[in-house]
Amino acid sequence: MSLWYIPPPSPYTCLSCSSPPTSDSPFCSPPCSKHFKTLCLSCKKSPGILSKKKYCTEVCRDLWIKSNLVPLHLRSICPLSPCTLSSAFPKNKCPRRHLTSSPSLSHNLILACSQSHTSRIIEYLHSSYGIKTLDKKHLDSLEGHRNDVDYLFLKSEEGDRGRICLDENLRRLHNKLYTIQRSVASYDELESWIENVIRERGELNDSSYFRISAPKTLKIELDNHVSTNFNLLPGNTLNSSIYIDILEFENSLECGYIKVEEEERRKWAEMGRTEEKGREVCRAENKIAEVIRRYPTLLPTTSFIASDIGSSPGGWTYHLALLSNCEHVYAIDPGDMKPSKRWLESGKENVTWFKEKVKDCFERLEEVNLLTCDMNACPRVTVDSCLPIFRGMEGVRGVVTLKNFVGGEKKMDEAVLIQVKRLEEEFVKCKVKVVRLLSGGMEERTLVITPR
């Protein structure tokens, strides 16, 4: 689809002249197509004379810019819009929310994330925070190119926004989090709302900072307005005392704000250092940490012995060994192990490393209460390696990562289902949950196995 394609007034008329178009083009001939692409981008009547943006006059240029204040990923493709390219999208369906001005909304957060992570983030928010996703919108770009951003409309409790922002797993995957408190219908109403917000905030002086998240052109105007009227300085995440979020839709602007105290800013500054500590051995350590946090009933309530299959380089092993009620961990992997600095400093000596395959050493293991496995193998081989240890456990508890060594996503789903049935049929007193971890790979599936 050409960048300059606009739907013709009639399906039987060439976009450039009155002749019938060809069957595979909206134009009657290549010359007509070439001529159409030289027309002004705004009015589509006069030839463009400004080389950069293809406008016939400065008036057309200003009109086009004014109608495109919204970033590409939020621009309207609705037929009601003056800059519509609706025919470039399937079924002429407008993906935008047509909201009217209202003091109350059903959602109070909007999270922007990559489309490939959407399902995992929805599951994570529900299991970790109990946050329900009310709606999901995917907005394509104006040119008809597929955009990779989904917008999740969330209903959360007080304090959830701060926890989401400080969540290491979510912070690496979501693009932006907007606080939403009301909907306004005009820019004048938006400016009045911002002025009231700043007055209510109080305790701000000339050296205080604010941060506004909004479409670029609108952000510049609002930054100037606030700086001029309140003598405040535009800041960033780490130094601002008030954050204002604005999203623009077809006929309304949704906005919200949060007050930020010194303690919260300190936590933001510490986040990077905290993440580095969490990846001391390898990034895979984040996976076992996420499972334990999301499913606290996985761990035995008393002291336990764990076995970690495919333990190299040691991220899972030493994370388990540092748990307060972990008595011992048997690491099984022919590859090399790298002890974590925290484990060495703790003075613990509760890790035994078998530098061999599991089939050669499982008989030497003591009674194991928890089995973890993050080995690089196809799902069948992974489960085969775990079965001998599972059979020796009284109550089956484990975390098993299944990785895609079988082909496409459909084949992977089938392979996972087969292995889940194998485990459920052999261990009828256990429950197997299939999870897609935020800290795991896109094609990984994690089995969380607990007693019923």
Beta bridge partners of 255: 182, 246
The pLDDT confidence band at residue 399, using thresholds 50, 70 and 90, is very high
Whole-number percent of the chain with pLDDT over 70 = 69
CATH architecture of residue range(s) 285-451: 3-Layer(aba) Sandwich (3.40)
Residue 111 has pLDDT above 80, yes or no: yes
Nearest 10 degrees: Cα torsion 210, 215, 217, 223 = -10
Residue type, 233: L
pLDDT digit string, tens, across residues 124-166: 898 888 888 888 877 654 444 456 778 888 888 877 877 887 7
290, 169 Cβ separation under 8 angstroms: yes
Q: What are phi and psi of 339, to 5 degrees?
A: -60, 140
Query: Is this prediction's pTM over 0.85?
Result: no
Query: What mean pLDDT, rounded, does the chain reach?
Result: 77
Q: Which CATH number fits domain 68-278: 3.40.1620, 3.30.2130, 1.10.10, 2.40.230?
A: 3.30.2130
Residue type, 214: A
Domain boundaries, given as residue ranges, for the chain: 1-66, 68-278, 285-451
How far is C-alpha 340 from the chain's CA centre?
29
Q: Among 147, 174, 163, which residue's Cα sits nearest to residue 71?
A: 147
Residue 31: the pLDDT is 73
Q: Which residues, 6 or more positions from 55, have their beta carbon under 8 angstroms from its beta carbon?
A: 40, 41, 42, 48, 49, 61, 64
The Cα 281–Cα 317 span in angstroms is 10
How far is C-alpha 127 from the chain's CA centre?
15
The Cα 289–Cα 294 span in angstroms is 9
Residue 76: the pLDDT is 43
pLDDT digit string, tens, across residues 400-419: 999 999 988 899 999 999 99
The pLDDT confidence band at residue 250, using thresholds 50, 70 and 90, is low
Terminus-to-terminus CA distance in the chain, angstroms?
55
Residue 420: the pLDDT is 95
